[in-house]
Structure 1
Amino acid sequence: MEILGLLNQQLVKLLTATFPALVFHWWNLLLLSKLTYQQNSFAASLPPQALERQDLAALLRNE
């Protein structure tokens, strides 16, 4: 499980450095739009752009 935590930390660093450079409203366009209903409900309860609070499955979700 330690490796998944490390992967999650590094992925958050990569995404927070990359996403804002791609599009201004990245939180809504690139993250929230890709989450399941349950994940989206959880994300809505977080402070804006709290990517580090998302689980690894949420970060890797791609449709």
Structure 2
Amino acid sequence: MDISAEKTKLMTNNTRGINTEIKVTGQKLETVTSFKYLGSVITDEGPKPEILSKIAHATAD
């Protein structure tokens, strides 16, 4: 199986400020704080931002 370092991102839920470095074929993976998966926003803060976003969208309609 081949993993593309350009397409792969890294997200942790670390609250202690420890830096995580993972490399694929010598390239460090980009660290992100959120991403979209199957229409839902996944964040390192847990489900609260997604819930607030859905509430805001529902009240705007």
TM-score, scaled relative to structure 1: 0.21
Structure number with the higher helix fraction is: 1
The structure that has the greater radius of gyration is: 2
- Greater relative contact order structure (CA < 8 Å, 6+ sep): 1
TM-score, scaled relative to structure 2: 0.21
Structure number with the higher strand fraction is: 2
